[in-house]
Amino acid sequence: MSELVQTVTKPRASAEAPSERSVPLSIRVVSRMTSIEPDTLRVWERRYGFPKPERRKGGSRVYTTKDVDALLLIRRALAAGYRPGEIVNKSIGELERLFDGPASRPPTSGVVPTVEGALRALAEDDVLGLRAALKRAALLLGPRSFVTDFAHPASVGVGAMWANGEIEVRHEHIFTSCLSSQLNLVLSSFEEPARGPTVLLAALPGEPHKLGLEMIAVVLAASQVTPRLLGPDTPPEQIVAAARAYRCDAVGLAVMPPVETKEVGAHIEWMLTELPRRVPIWAGGSGASQLGLALDGLVIIRDWASLDAAIAALPR
């Protein structure tokens, strides 16, 4: 799935020419126009009664441009924090009214907040400013770019500010809380595909940080992969048990410095022997490159490009 948020043209209230309305749109075309997966459209049709396409003789679905107008507004509402059950079956007029009030209308155009501005708000104890920057960046950039171009650089910046003594522990805690809330809000807007790969995300005992896992979860969801977020500080036997129970196609581990390379390496080697065949372990984070392991089934995620390559290698 591509970005959740894009500039949306407000649907015209006046009647459109018959020739415009008579153009039939297949489910694949509608999916490309709205960045909503075909599986999700089918689930919404069955669960909420919308979209309700006509059926051709062969059973294929045919949509209208009016359906696309509504779906674009639905996608915008999802990005603003609404859940599918709240908005999928609303009319275009009802969907438009969600954004009529100045307080409720999300910013869908304008200047994207800068990482520098967000960090300045954090350092000045401007929590409202920090939250507003995170929300606006998520809406304007879309899920993947929000993570890769804003959330991740901001997290690195917070670490540098902490190391330089520019912020205190309260600042780091507030940043983690605000960013975690925004990441989970973005993640909640995705419908799980009926089919597709699943990746378990966890961190081994002694690793308490969760932001990296939440950021990867958003990128996975934006790539039509279902993330199962087990979380930090998880015993290896529970990671293996969860991977089996959820029938995962890969296990992603967050490895942050300082790294006990021998202990972490032993855990990874044991898990690879216990996981189902052909289920790899992805080791990411700033400590992953310190492992120095060359194990069959271990994939070191060094950057976003290597994550994309790992995602592309998942079974579909």
Three-state secondary structure along 199-220? EEEECCCCCCCCHHHHHHHHHH
- What local confidence, expressed as pLDDT, does residue 256 receive? 86
Residue found by looking up tokens 């679905």 in the block: 61
DSSP string, 45-105: HHHH--S--EE-TTS-EEB-HHHHHHHHHHHHHHHTT--HHHHTT--HHHHHHTTTSTTT-
User: What does the alpha-carbon distance between residue 42 and residue 59 come to, in Å, rounded to a whole number?
Assistant: 13
3-class SS at 251?
strand
- What local confidence, expressed as pLDDT, does residue 279 receive? 97
Q: Domain 198-312: state its class.
A: alpha beta
Alpha helices in 124-278 (DSSP H): 127-141, 143-145, 152-163, 169-188, 211-222, 236-245, 261-274
User: Could you state, in order of their start, the residue ranges of all structural domains in the chain?
Assistant: 18-97, 115-188, 198-312
| CATH classification number, 115-188, choose in 1.10.1240.10, 3.40.50.720, 2.30.40.10, 1.25.10.10 | 1.10.1240.10
Phi, psi of 284 (to 5 degrees): -130, 175
Of 79, 85, 147, the closest CA to residue 108 belongs to 79
Domains 115-188 and 198-312 agree in fold: no
Provide block-wise average pLDDT over 10 residues at a time, the chain (316 residues): 30 37 69 80 92 88 83 82 87 81 43 85 95 89 88 90 91 97 91 85 92 96 94 96 97 89 92 95 89 90 92 90
User: What does the alpha-carbon distance between residue 251 and residue 270 come to, in Å, rounded to a whole number?
Assistant: 13
- What local confidence, expressed as pLDDT, does residue 59 receive? 83
- What local confidence, expressed as pLDDT, does residue 258 receive? 82
Q: Domain 18-97: state its class.
A: mainly alpha
